[in-house]
Amino acid sequence: MKAKYFLMFTVVVISGMFLFSCDEDFLQLENPNRVGEEAMMSPSGVRQLDIGMYRRIADAYNYFWQLYMSHLPGEYEMKETTGEGPMHQQVWNLAVTPDNVFNGWLYADYYGSLAMANRIIQYMENGIGTVNELPEREFNLILGGAYFMRAFNHFYLLHSWGRPFDTDDVYGIVMHTSIVSERKDFEKERSKPSEVYEQIEKDLKAAESLLLRSAQLRPEELGRPTRGAATAFLGKVYVFRKKYAEAAEKLKQFIDENPDKGLLPYYGDNFHGKYENGPESVFEIQFADLVPTNRWQGGGTGNHFQIYAGGHGMGRDNFGVNPAIVRREDDPDAIPGDIRNFDVRDIRFSETVYSAGPNRSYIFHGNEIVIRDTLFFMNPPVRVRRSAKHTYTPKKYISNRRTASNAGGIATDIGYENQVVMRVAEVYMLYAEALAHLNRIPEASQWLNRVMRRARGYRVNEVSPFDFTGNDFNAFMELLMEEKRKEFIGEQIRWYDVIRWGIAESEMQRVPGRVAWIDRGACFPIPTREMANNPMMVQNPGY
Amino acid sequence: MGNLYKVTVTMLARMLLFGLFCFIAFFSYGGGNTARDHVLIESGSLVSLQQGLPVSGRVVAAVTGEPLIGVTIFELGTTNGAVTNERGEFAILVTGSASQLRVSYVGYQNQVIIVGDQQVINLRMVEDIRAMDEVVVIGYGVQRKSDLTGSVESIRTENIQRLAVPSVAEALQGQASGVFVTRGSGAPGQDATIYIRGPGSVNNTAPLWVIDGIPSSAGNHLNLADVESIEILKDASAAAIYGARAANGVILVTTKRGKKGKPKINFTSSYGIAQPMNLPDLVDSKSFATLRHESYRNGNFAAGLNQVYTQIVSNPDTILPVSTDWMDVLYRNGATHNYNLDFSGATDQSNFYISLGYFAEEGTYIKSSFERITATLNSDHHIANWLMVGQSLNLSQTTSRGKMGGFAASLRVNPFMEVLMDSADHPYTPYGVLAQEYGFVGPNLFGVEDINDTEGKGYRVRGNIYIDLKPFSGLSWRTTVGGNIDMGRSRHYTERYDLGYTLSRDFDRLAIGHSDGFGITGNTVLNYRLDVNRHNMEFMVGAEIQDARGSSYTMIGEDFRDGLIIFDQSDPLTRELRGNKHNPTRWSSQFGRVNYGFDDRYLFTFNIRRDGSSIFSPGNRIGYFPSFSAGWRVTNESFMESLATFMDLKFRFGYGGVGNPSVAPFSYETQFSGGMIYYVFGGNLRTGVLPSVFGVGDLRWETIYTTNFGMDLFLFDYRLSITNDFYIKDTRDMLIYVDLPINAGMGLRGSTALNAGNIRNIGNDLNIQYRDRIGNFKYNLGGTLTFNRHKVQDLVDQEINLGELAQFKTVAGEPMSFYYGYVVEGIWQENEIDKIIEFLIRNNKLGNQDNYNRHNYTAPGDLKFKDINGDGLIDHRDRVNIGSPWPKMVYGFNLGGEFKGFDLYALFQGVYGNDIYHLNKRVTDNLVGDYSFTYNAFNRWTPELPTNQPRIVYTDPNVNLSTSSSYFVESGSYLRLKNLQIGYTIPPRLLSRLQLEQFRVYVSGQNLLTITNYTGMDPEISSGSNVARNLDQGMYPQSRTFMLGLQMTF
């Protein structure tokens, strides 16, 4: 019987351990999936936040940002009435509803990136955790980048969902300069546009002091914001704020400090991955074919722009380029003598659109039309399905290289080209605009002429018959505005200029099929989700 | 922490080993005794080893006179025993004339007979229908039903075991009051959803399943044939012993163990044919062209789009070469197979139960199926009078195949499309496609199924081992260690395809998913029973720890050159790793219970559980869940003695609190997640993180407090039983995901979990059963009836709006997810054009923003929405509550009868007072988008024949049908004959020569009859969450099944 008591004793003792298993330490589990805030306060944490910050912006540019913004000045058109079509139609009609999800996604991407920038700045400025262990060069690149991106996000938020040019109105944006962690942080009212601008300028100056010039970047750092990008952006902000003297100074500084930057000899080389982060690039959103991108779910490192904007055979043929906006003067439909016509020499026309128009030869091949541009033989022939819905389809950022077959599992309609946010041509034109306002028109024309010459096949230093030689401010500005339009079609620059120059009303009238200008069109509505959950928010006028 | 986990696991492993050691040791230690017992048992029926008095006789059923096989006869105070043979005869040697024989048989009343000088004892056994003496399983123990004070519902399993259903949950349909079960669709292997006493939360409201004492999940892995009993703990006073996870009720499942008597082999099999129910009758080509043409015309579409249809319509004599009946192509008669073989037996020392089961459902949609193989081994062993050990082990494997999209997809067909076609244009695949002239974007669904090869496999091992000590009389100490291992594998291979001009891919694709889960639970329970005079006391204390973890990932590869399907790890373009998730949780709990009964009249139960959970933030991990209940057995009072009709009457009262931890683990802290977050610098891939959870730091479980008033009444010799429970169930601190404004940086749909809401459910559960006999005809009738209504009392300045058309709204003061939309007051008629124009002008002039396009293109034939607030506009302010998805009443009733070997069983089940949002109508009747029509579309409004069904307009340009309105809300009440079964049992005397104990054949039908006014496919719908319920977008059709079955016992 001893065995009985021994066994019972043992079982009782072991079972009894269950009863005392109420130790809270037992419940303390590490979460293996994810990492908490404290894990971010380290060199590797900050490196990862940094990538997240750029990813959110890449998301914004990935799908439709460019398409969306291009409806406003009437550059791109969408004919679909189902699916995503109506949401694009809303933009075209200046009738974006607060529940338009594209509007919401874009707004969310900027705030998402902003939240990451604020985390980085807060950790690094205060040396929280072990972030100071980062090597100095990397530390400055990441922190400087965060300042740049904070300014970048505030700038685009302000210009898309605020009314920046009524500077003392309430229609700025909700501005964040620290981590949002509590209710009071996100239940916040809009700052005035002037306050947002102050912050943008402050952040860009901070970025300028931390970042490196593009020539100093190591190959593995290419694509990061540079000191030059901060300088140029600050110049752009000054132009937008009509501080022309400061603008001219900053833009000149960019030109002087960055001898490696200038116009590419051939305009079309900006859009097809040939000179990514190259001589003409000031700041680009980076895409690559390193990780395949799922066609409908995103992910990867590719760019969905091509799916929607690519013509048949290259994409989904959802978007066309508005033929009334992009028209060469030899087109039978063109209004003779209209300044908006591309002249026959203008390379930008055939680099902006794939078209079946004059000076094109057609080869019918089964279901496809092979189009060859007879004027510019350097353009590769294009294969377009006969059923294409649009006369012109976008060419910028559309790859030819994958139209023949899918290479190694990469879907044929995913693009991998960087999306240019700012390039030297814009810097020159902003500089020219600032100088013109400072009554230095001959000097200003130099910079405008460079862009115009390149556009027509001349070298930038070569005098061309298209050069502006006068001294009349109005004539100069009219030409500059028109040249800037042609230079940047589909590059989401135009609309902000349209609003800034106050030409929205006349611009609307010039585009066939557009609604009459409505004042609310100057900005998008604040998305429903923001309105519903931020009690301090006020909706933009007219929405 | 990691250490502690290791220590615990090591400890548990040692306990297991130690248990095994004890098992072996004591088998040899107590060997002498055990061996003697064995001999004696055998001697009882056959040969005498000692002097004794031989007694023999025959046992028959009192009513039928049929011999009873397997009746056990034991001499009290000895180990002598015998069992009746196939003729009902027995022989036993007893010690003397003073001996007492106990005669027992399952389902019959025990008898004790004094032998006296009788040498032949013939007995008539009387059936035992006194349910109050039944023992029911409650948490961590058992209790006599008569002693229960909480609300516990026991399910009689013998009827439901003949159902051919994939899940145990579904078998509970109509069986228990207060329990609302729906199988959401007829998809093979589909699990059912259960609500116990209404929805207590916007979150998960699934009950906690406890299988053989271990919290586990049943899903479609558990074989119904292995289930011995099911108990449902409905109120907090019963469920509180399961604490923080018991808020939605607890379902206790006990699997079968061997029973005393000679070893038995049971074999059951059934085969059934399943017909898809209520498939929509899609139109033929000519009708399709007519309707499509009309819808284009109404939608002002350019002529180019519909020239094919125009041609057909303008030449009515055109003979159309193709008119595919897609329902015929895509659906078929399915089949169910159910085979179970078990082998069980018991001696005084040990019992065992071994079973093998095979269940298969061949779906009614082409290429879809579900298959399950299960094996069970259960045993218990009395090693000594103070030591018992036992185990349960259950293995299962499930396989699901086929069916790519939802049902709505199977309406996306065009009769002009051929199923198969030869065409040089479509090089990879032979499926028919439509030319673009048809203006129809939709795949060849036959092709979709054919090119996709999907298979999901699930493997589960679940088991436990226990040691039960009885150091002295009244005390038992049971320690159980259980675990489960789950593995899932999915494989989805898609050939390259060309299914029409919008659907093609010129490379193959393979996705392989893997998931695994591992859980271990250990508990120890100390039970002490003390009976002093008229005081009965039972004390229980126990503790439990649980650790569960798992992970999952998916790998995707594309473009397998040369048809070689392998993942090339070195090539980043052909493989992609997606999602790698782990979800660990830990629980640590202590609990106790005191039962006190005085004189079998006054009964009290007090439960308490202290639960610790890793799911919540460190300050909020520990919770206490007390409950109290009391019962009064009125019939045991002396003043009731004169009332002979009342066999038993008990009043019960209970109150308690239980918890619901329905939030993802670690939701309390801000978290970042990596994976798929890429950016590129200098051509180098960089990976980053983004915030995935916005943590507010302070989260705790929601708590549900239930007050329960109950009554159990037995009348007329226990023939009639009535159980009624009235309850009030209050949910406090409900966990809800509160929307964040976008500026918080969490994306467009960012949200954070908060304890912020209260809900109250009030209801009544009634269960009435009557059983009696008229001569040889035995019958029973019964019904369950449940009323429940609930209201969200508080939702912290939140509104939950869900649905494509925001048709589900949850706000304080209303039930959850009521339908929200416009009230339709008819159809705009031809003579009302002026009014329409007036409306349009007014809406446009006032710049009615939220409905900027609501009325553009509005024309006669469209729905006329009611201007609720009378401001002359139709806008969001005119949207109101237009229906509720929650039934006011859920009911079921069953009838059974037996006559001379024939038996009949019928189960009806129904709900009353709920609505369904019949969105599918928009597709089948009105065409919004590229779908086919049913013939019902011909009832549309036309100027010539104005009906109540709106006109058909392609793409619905004025959002007439794509807005939430009462046009889509229909009553979802129904009554369904869920199961009808007729069987015949061959009389035992005919079977004895075949060495068979029982042989029964039966025919049965499922879903034979449905009475409903609902116009959709099936009113038995359970789609969506608690805040977006019952949206009928079409579903995998339920089946009507005809079955032939067979049951045999050797």
Tens-place pLDDT, residues A142-196: 999 999 999 999 999 999 999 988 777 889 999 999 999 887 888 899 999 999 9
Tokens of B562: 């040369």
| pTM, to two decimals | 0.76
Judge contact between B754 and B735, C-beta under 8 A.
yes
Looking at residue A390, what is its pLDDT? 67
Contact at CB, B688 and A222, closer than 8 angstroms: no
DSSP annotation of A105 reads: H
Q: Please judge whether B588 and A219 are an interchain contact, meaning their C-beta atoms are less than 8 angstroms apart.
A: no
- Looking at residue A138, its pLDDT comes to 95
CB contact under 8 A, B469 and A11: yes
Is A176 in contact with B690 (Cβ distance < 8 A)? no
pLDDT of residue B42: 34
Q: Cα distance from B945 to chain A (closest Cα, Å)?
A: 30
Give the model's pLDDT for residue A482: 93
Give me A239's structure tokens.
């132009």
Over residues B825-846, mean pLDDT: 75
Taking an 8 Å cut-off on Cβ atoms, the answer to whether A290 and B622 are in contact is: no
Q: Within an 8 Å CB–CB cutoff, is residue A136 touching chain B?
A: no
Confidence class for position B1, pLDDT limits 50, 70, 90: very low
Phi, psi of B775 (to 5 degrees): 60, -125
A25: confidence class by pLDDT, cuts 50, 70, 90: confident
Minimal Cα–Cα distance from A525 to chain B, Å?
A: 11
pLDDT at B990 over 80: no
A40 three-state secondary structure: helix
- Kindly report the nearest CA distance between residue A345 and chain B, in angstroms: 35
Per DSSP, the three-state class of A2 is helix
Q: List the 156-185 stretch of A: residues with Cβ below 8 A of B.
A: 174, 176, 180-181, 185
> Does the beta-carbon distance from B541 to A19 stay under 8 Å?
yes
d(CA A423, CA A437): 22
Residue B48 has pLDDT above 60, yes or no: no
A40 vs B672: CB contact, 8 Å cut-off? yes
CB contact under 8 A, B689 and A82: no
Per-residue pLDDT of B79-136, as tens digits, reads 777 888 878 888 888 887 778 888 887 777 777 888 887 888 888 887 765 555 677 8
Asked if the C-beta of A529 comes within 8 angstroms of chain B's C-beta atoms, the answer is: yes
CB contact under 8 A, B748 and A529: yes
User: CB A51 to CB B25 under 8 A?
Assistant: no
pLDDT of residue B927: 66
- Per-residue pLDDT for B917 more than 80? yes
At A51-74, the pLDDT tens digits run 999 999 998 888 767 778 888 888
Of all residues in chain B, the one with the smallest CA distance to A19 is B543
**Is residue B446's pLDDT more than 80?**
yes
How far does B405 lie from chain A, in Å, by closest CA? Answer: 16
Task: Identify the residue with better confidence: B745 or A151.
Answer: A151
What confidence score (pLDDT) does residue A498 get? 92
Cα of B851 to nearest chain A Cα, Å: 9
Residues of A in contact with B558 (CB under 8 A): 292, 409
Kindly state the average pLDDT of the residues A252-268.
94
Instruction: Quote the longest CA-to-CA distance of chain A.
Output: 118
* Of the partner residues A12, A24, A223, the one whose CB lies closest to the CB of residue B680: A223
From CA B966, how far away is CA A30, in angstroms rounded?
A: 50
* Confidence (pLDDT) at B25: 40
Nearest CA to B801 out of B793, B791, B811, B814 is that of B811
Would you give the end-to-end CA distance of chain A in angstroms? 89
For the cut 70, the answer to whether the pLDDT of residue B844 exceeds it is no
Rank A61-65, A434-438, A521-525 by mean pLDDT and report only the highest: A434-438
- Dihedral angle, C-alpha A467, A471, A477, A481, nearest 10 °: 0
DSSP per residue, B222-282: S-GGGEEEEEEE-SHHHHGGGGGG-TT-EEEEEE----SEEEEEEEEEEEEEEEEPS---B
Residues B629-642 have a mean pLDDT of 83
Per-residue pLDDT at B7 exceeds 60: no
Q: Can you give the pLDDT at residue B307? A: 73
pLDDT reading at A402 higher than 50: no
What is the reported pLDDT for B406? 58
pLDDT digits (tens, 9 = 90+) for A458-484: 999 989 999 999 899 999 999 999 999
Q: How far is A251 from chain B (nearest CA, A)?
A: 26
Is residue B368 packed enough to be buried (19+ CB in 10 Å), middle (13-18) or exposed (0-12)? buried
Report residue B808's pLDDT band, with 50, 70 and 90 as the boundaries.
confident
Q: How far is B689 from chain A (nearest CA, A)?
A: 5
pLDDT of residue B855: 52
| CA pair distance A516, A506, nearest whole angstrom | 9
Q: What is the pLDDT of residues B177-191, one digit of tens each?
A: 878 888 777 788 888
Mean pLDDT across chain B: 81
Average pLDDT over residues B771-794: 87
Highest mean pLDDT among A235-244, B199-208, B553-562, B575-584: A235-244
Contacts of A20 in chain B (CB under 8 A): 543
pLDDT for residue A19? 56
Tell me: pLDDT of B854 over 50. Answer: no
Total Cβ atoms within 10 A of residue A374: 11
Could you tell me where the DSSP H helices lie in B896-984? 920-924
pLDDT digits (tens, 9 = 90+) for A107-151: 999 999 999 999 999 999 999 989 999 999 999 999 999 999 999
Give the residue, B475 or B842, on which the prediction is more confident.
B475
Q: How far apart are CA A247 and CA A241, in angstroms?
A: 9
pLDDT at B37: 34
**pLDDT beyond 70 at B376:** yes
For chain A, give the mean pLDDT: 84
Quick check: helix, strand or coil at residue B443? Answer: coil
Q: Are B438 and B308 in contact (CB under 8 A)?
A: yes
Highest mean pLDDT among A19-23, A270-274, B185-189: A270-274
State yes or no: ipTM above 0.95. no
Residue of A2, A15, A161 to mutate, testing the B interface (most B Cβ within 10 Å of its Cβ): A15
pLDDT value at position B27?
Answer: 39
Whether residue B207 is predicted with pLDDT greater than 70 in this model: the reply is yes
Q: Six-digit token pair at B53?
A: 């008095």
A217 to chain B, minimum CA–CA distance in Å? 10
Residues 9-38 of chain A whose Cβ lies under 8 A from any Cβ of chain B: 10-12, 14-37
pLDDT score, position A403: 38
Contact A529 B477 (CB under 8 A): no
Sequence-distant (≥ 6) Cβ neighbours of residue A342 within 8 angstroms: A326, A327, A328, A329, A348, A349, A486
Q: Do B558 and A105 touch (CB under 8 A)?
A: no
Mention every residue, 6+ apart, whose C-beta is less than 8 A from residue B888.
B787, B788, B789, B912, B913, B914
Q: Give the residue-averaged pLDDT of B727-750.
A: 86
Highest mean pLDDT among A104-108, A233-237, B388-392: A233-237
Q: Looking at beta carbons, which residues of chain A come within 8 Å of B14? A: 14
> How many residue pairs from chains A and B have C-beta atoms closer than 8 A?
283
Neighbouring residues of B81: CB distance < 8 A, sequence distance ≥ 6 = B41, B44, B45, B72, B73, B74, B75, B92
Strand partners, B336: B272, B361
pLDDT at B947 exceeding the cut of 50: yes
Q: Does A43 touch chain B (CB under 8 A)?
A: no
pLDDT-based confidence at residue B578 (cuts at 50, 70, 90): low
